[in-house]
Chain A
Amino acid sequence: MTNTEQQVSELIKREYEHGFVTDIEADSFEPGLNEDVIRRLSAIKNEPEFMLEWRLKAYRRWLTMEEPNWAHLNYPKIDFNAISYYSAPKRPEDMPQSLDEVDPELLRTYERLGIPLHEHAKLAGVAVDAVFDSVSVVTTFKEPLEKAGVIFCPISEAVQKYPELVQKYLGSVVPMGDNYFAALNSAVFSDGSFVYIPKGVRCPMELSTYFRINAANTGQFERTLIIAEDDSYVSYLEGCTAPMRDENQLHAAVVELVILDNAEIKYSTVQNWYPGDEHGKGGIYNFVTKRAACIGKNSKVSWTQVETGSAITWKYPSSVLRGEGSIGEFYSVALTHNYQQADTGTKMIHLGKNTTSTIISKGISAGRSSNTYRGLVKIGPGAEGARNFTECDSLLIGDQCAAHTFPYIEGSAKTAILEHEATTSKVSDEQMFLCRQRGIDPEQAVSMIVNGFCKSVFQELPMEFAVEAGKLLEVSLEGAVG
């Protein structure tokens, strides 16, 4: 047993593997937020007038709003004037055109993360729009996508090239005044991805973006907009790691999905940002608004997320099921350790007839962390024949952690059926005994049991993510047993 204890204490002491700072000079703004900052930001990006107007309107709206405090989270008040709102890699005028031109320092960063960009892209057949801090640095696999008619580019580029699409859909799913963090994002969003899948096109490959937060004290305000026209399909992957840092960094992203008749978007996330050290110091604040509008008949959105990082997670990927027969799915694994806090879940808003939704949420809390599922299932009066199934399970590891479930269920259609079930349990002594007896060490046993607990969600992930997710849980749970 002493041997195990020693191992465990070593594991506990192990620092975050992905924590390092890439030494690239960043071209950043002074901290602070006012209308001038937004004008400068917009000017740097050479944005058309409508974009600047939109940002300013969002900013003025934001000033009138109050930071929400209903979440089961505890963190010091964020000083929004202590944050720098723009950071781009140096030399923006000669942005690299191919991988060879990319700063080798940057490529090494990716390698240390275990993602050799070119190899990864080739091997997996994934086009990567890598967001390094705030400006998209390199986009690969553009040609086959262009051939299919798919637009996949940084949103700043889309603003220039496809202003009519951006103007039509930006803010149509998450209005600028939707919530405090969405308003902030609308005012200062730095960059992000834009995807447009034309009518009848099945995107020939999975699209993927890697985020990294790099320069100290720069909030990352991503904005993603995906539009799937009639009868189209796309699978979009998003994964993140971040370097170690002592101050808390703010991340307030907005993701908007627009889904028309018979179209489908599969949106997968692996989030592994720096969660803070074992004393709860540092870590990313992750306040994200993600929403899909299933406008078309028989449209479908599927959210899959594996959340293991961030000191604070505030995230509720939602689906507005407006189209008749539209489908919303939410599969989530949220793991918290040490002093991490997660308040996450989903919203399924049924407005159309015969809409269906499934929610499978698995929360795992270890150490002194707190893990909350907060969800809303709302059936509007017109959503005849709507159907929802919700299952949210929590697993507790250690006696200092907490797990909460706050589901809101609102039904007002006579022919709708809603089901919700939730359980809370711990890794049982019997399970552990069985594994130990067969010579499996406690670390491995817990990892195995947790993986089994999450299996129904992992199955929904694209293959390469599923592998990564399993490993991620293992790494994140290190030191949780003892």
Chain B
Amino acid sequence: MKSVPMLSSAFLAPAGQSLPQPLLELRQQRGTALVDMPLPTRKTENWKYSSRYLQLTDAIAASLPVSDRIDTPLAKVPGYQVVIRNGVMVPSASTLPAVEGVTISRFADLSDEVASSLAERLDNTLDANAVQLARLNTARFEDGLYIRLAPEAVLDQPLFIIYETDASQSGSAYPRLYVEAGHHSQATIVEEFLSTGSEAALVNAVSEFTLADSAQITNVRLSADGESVQHIGATGARLQGHARFESHCVGFGGPLRRHDLQVRLEKPGAECLLNGAVVTQGRQHYDNHTTIEHIAPHCNSEENYRNIAAGQSHAIFRGRIHIHRDAQKSNGHMNNKNLLLSSGAEIDTKPELEIYADDVKCAHGATIGQLDEESLFYLVARGIPRREAQTLLTMAFINELIQQIPVAAVRDASLPRLNQFIDQTFEEA
């Protein structure tokens, strides 16, 4: 038997101590549990296609330094803004809302009482067996962002959380977000991952959402870290009756991009919409895993993911709908479309249904294909240069999902970036 690679002990070195005691204890406890954790291999089902891209070297084990400085001026966002740099909040660069019922606090500032109740709930939205590496976040976070929406509180403008990673030296960052939405509360939270510098780095980010009855949360996730940064992210959401969770993910490829999204529909009437668009080129890699657990009856889920892979890149989608025994009258729809732009690229998809109740309507569809030659011909025949026509058609493929993002600023910012990325792809081809 070949020996299984283990998580290097360098990853479990003590981190900064500027957190309330209950969170320090939790971190300690998680760290102890991770000693000798086997790393995923090709034989680990949920890392089958990605394990070989995972490079948890000792060089990136150390935490990236904390600083209050912001190197690059950030684009002005039309809403509230929180800047998290190397996993730690930078209050000077943040503009927090003063809305009644909305509490936004960094973990370091929480009272022991709140911190201890939070410590009990952290990780509860995620299935530990499916997101082994999310536990590393809980063992290592230096700070975190805690958002609480009181019942019926409504955040009037989107909250932008900018996670900036400074990869001017090797190391890792562990940003953490916990959102607690009271009944009938509403908020739109945009998470954006960026990086500067070109040294090897790791971002291990975990975001958790709990939605009480009839709460509505829209979560937009833009993953645009640099070429030297490995990104392992996990998002978990638990929904009570008639709550609605919307997730829109837009991802640009990198050496390793991994996102696990787990949604639990726990009470009747809960519903979710999960959209995702991914583009990869060169030797990039992107791996999206989603799980929707229909635990209660009368819940709806809808999911649309699209991948575009060019060059020698590799895009993966694995979606799972799990209908539990009592979840009668469930509706689940999953759709995954993929565009393969070169023969060196690879797209792997695994749309799964696991169903234990009979009175359900579930369907999934998946396709892998390329640009339609006839559509291309149509455009070229009308005098549009071939490359432009290819870009146009490819953008059309992905635009369908981008247009569903309910924040205009995100749409406006994403489209030119995607356009440039895709155009570049055809230039190389």
B67 within 8 Å of A (CB atoms): no
The answer to whether B364 touches A402 (Cβ under 8 A) is no
Closest Cβ of chain A to B280, distance in Å, is 13
Is the CB of A404 closer than 8 A to any CB of chain B?
yes
Q: Looking at the assembled complex, report how far the CB atom of B315 sits from the nearest CB atom of chain A, in whole angstroms.
A: 10
Q: Give the chain A neighbours of B344 by CB distance below 8 A.
A: 381, 412
Tell me the smallest distance from the CB of B373 to a CB of chain A, in Å.
10
Residue A394 lies at the interface, judged by CB distance under 8 Å to chain B: yes
The reply on B354 being an interface residue by CB < 8 A is yes
Instruction: Verify if B201 is at the interface (C-beta below 8 Å from A).
Output: no
CA gap between A127 and B403 in the complex, in Å: 63
Report Cα–Cα, A351/B367, bound state, in Å: 19
- Nearest CB to that of A378 among chain B residues? B348
The answer, yes or no, to whether A420 is at the interface (CB within 8 Å) is: yes
Q: Identify the interface centre among B328, B347, B353, B367: most chain A CB within 10 Å of its CB.
A: B353
**Does B378 have its Cβ within 8 Å of any Cβ on chain A?**
no
Near A by CB (< 8 A), chain B positions 299-353 give 325, 328, 338, 340-353
C-alpha spacing A426/B328, complex, angstroms: 11
Is B401 among interface residues, defined by CB-CB distance under 8 A?
no
**Which residues of chain A are within 8 angstroms of B366 by Cβ–Cβ distance?**
407, 409, 418-421
Q: A421 to B325: give the CA distance in the assembly, Å.
A: 23
Q: Is B45 an interface residue (CB 8 A)?
A: yes
Interface residue? B169 (CB, 8 A)? no
Q: Which residues of B contact A111 (CB under 8 A)?
A: none
Q: How many residue pairs bridge A and B at CB < 8 Å?
A: 119
A424 touches B338 (CB 8 A): no
A162 in the interface (beta carbon within 8 A): no
B127 at the interface (CB under 8 A from A): no
List A residues 407-428 near B (Cβ within 8 Å): 407-426
Interface residues on A, range: 35 or more
Q: Mark A415-454, 1 if CB is under 8 A from B, else 0.
A: 1111111111110000000000000000000000000000
Question: How close is B295's CB to chain A, nearest CB, in angstroms?
Answer: 15
**A423–B331 CA distance with the chains assembled, in angstroms:** 11
Asked, given contacts A407-B351, A410-B348, whether A423 binds B362 with beta carbons under 8 Å apart, the answer is yes
Which residues of the other chain, A, contact B362 by a CB distance below 8 angstroms? 423-425
- Any chain B CB within 8 A of the CB of A403? yes
Question: Taking CB as reference atom, which chain B residue is nearest A403?
Answer: B355
Q: Measured between alpha carbons, how far is A379 from B348 in the docked complex, in Å?
A: 10
Contact A404 B368 (CB under 8 A): no
Given known contacts A413-B340, A414-B342, is B367 in contact with A420 (CB within 8 Å)?
Answer: yes
Q: How far is the CA of A417 from the CA of B364 in the complex (A)?
A: 17
Tell me the minimal C-beta distance from A66 to chain B in angstroms. 9
What residues of chain A lie closer than 8 Å to B358, measured between beta carbons?
A: 396-399, 401, 426
Q: How far is the CA of A426 from the CA of B355 in the complex (A)?
A: 12
B38 at interface, CB cutoff 8 A: no
- Inter-chain contacts of B356 with A (CB < 8 A): 401-402
In whole Å, how far is B313's beta carbon from the nearest beta carbon of chain A?
A: 11
Q: Pick the residue among B350, B352, B369 that contacts A404 (CB under 8 A).
A: B352
Q: Does B359 contact A (CB under 8 A)?
A: yes
**Interface presence of A75 (CB below 8 A):** no
Closest to B361 in A: A425
Q: How far is the CB of A198 from chain B (nearest CB, A)?
A: 38
User: Are B348 and A419 in contact (CB-based, < 8 A)?
Assistant: no
Residue of A nearest to B347 (CB): A411
C-alpha gap A420/B334 in the complex (Å): 12
Residues of A within 8 A of B350 (CB): 406-409
CB distance from B419 to the nearest CB of A (A): 21
The 8 Å CB contact of A424, one of B341, B342, B353, is: B353
Write the residues of chain A forming the contact surface with B, with a CB cutoff of 8 angstroms. 70, 379, 381, 384, 394, 396-426
14 pairs, CB–CB < 8 Å, chain A vs chain B:
A397-B358, A399-B328, A402-B354, A405-B351, A405-B354, A409-B349, A409-B350, A412-B343, A414-B343, A417-B369, A421-B365, A422-B351, A423-B363, A424-B361
Apart from A399-B359, A412-B340, A422-B353: 14 A-B pairs, beta carbons within 8 A: A381-B343, A394-B355, A399-B358, A401-B356, A405-B351, A405-B352, A409-B350, A410-B348, A412-B343, A412-B346, A420-B366, A421-B363, A422-B365, A425-B361
